[in-house]
Amino acid sequence: MMNQYIDHTLLKPEATAQQIIKLCEEAKEFKFKAVCVNSYFVKLAKEQLKDSGVMVCTVVGFPLGASTLETKRFEALKAIHEGAQEIDMVINVSALKSRQLDYVKEDIESLAKLCHSQKAILKVILETALLTPEEITLASKLALEAGADFIKTSTGFSSRGASLEDIRLMREATSDKIKIKASGGIKDLETAMSFIQAGAHRLGTSSGVALMNGHSSSTAY
C-alpha cells in the first residue's frame, strides 16, 4: 500500500502549529507511515497522533549536518524523550569530503546506538546532491557499517532532491542490507512508484495527500 511508504513531511522554517496539526490530521486520514517535522513540533505531533499508529519522525543536525557529534546526540535524545520514534540525521558532509571517515562513521554510530537503546529508528541523510557517485557509495557503506536502519537521499533543502541514480548507487553499495528512503522532489504518483520500484522502502514528501489522490503537487519538498 502506497500510504505505508510515506513520511508525510513539513520541515519549512515558516511552518505554523496549525499547519502541523493539519499535517497530522492528513496522516491519520490516509494512515501514512509517519509524519516528519522539526524537533520543535515533536510534542505537538505526538499529541495529535496519539493512538493513531502513525509514527513521529524528526530531523537532527538539519539541514547542513555540520553540528558536532555531541550536539546531534543531545538533539536526538531530547526529541526521543518528547515522542519521536524515528530520527533522520544529516551526515557530516564536510567531514566526508575531507576524508575524515572515522569521524563520519563515529557520528553515525553514536546516533545509531543512542536511537536503538531508546527503541528508535535511525535514518542517515546523505545529501546526495552535494556528493560525487564515489562519495554516495562511500557514505552508504559507512552508514551500513555504523548500524543505521536507513540511508536517505536528501534534506529537500539542497540543489536537488532524490534521483533514481542515487537509489541505484545506494543499493549497489549496501546490497540491500539497509533500507533506503528517497526524499525531495517526489510530487506525483509516477515519480513515487519509480522510486519504490528502484528499491526505496520509504518516501519523504510533503505531497502525500496528492499522491494518494493520484494528483501532482507543486509543493517544494
Which cell numbers hold the place of 73? 546526540
Whether residue 181 lies in the annotated active site? yes
Whether residue 152 lies in the annotated active site? yes
Residue count of the chain, please give it: 221
**Is the bond into 63 cis (omega within 30 degrees of 0)?**
yes
Active-site choice (88, 107, 149, 166) = 88
Active-site choice (28, 46, 123, 181) = 181
Whether residue 51 lies in the annotated active site? no
Active-site choice (33, 152, 166, 187) = 152
C-beta of residue 164 within 8 angstroms of C-beta of residue 186: no
Cα–Cα distance between 52 and 29 in angstroms, integer? 9
Q: Are strands 55-60 and 86-90 parallel, antiparallel or unpaired?
A: parallel
Q: Are strands 202-205 and 34-37 parallel, antiparallel or unpaired?
A: unpaired
Residue 38, CA distances (Å) to 20, 99, 102, 160, 180 in order: 10, 29, 28, 20, 21
Residue 10, CA distances (Å) to 56, 96, 102, 221 in order: 12, 27, 32, 8
Active site residues: 88, 152, 181
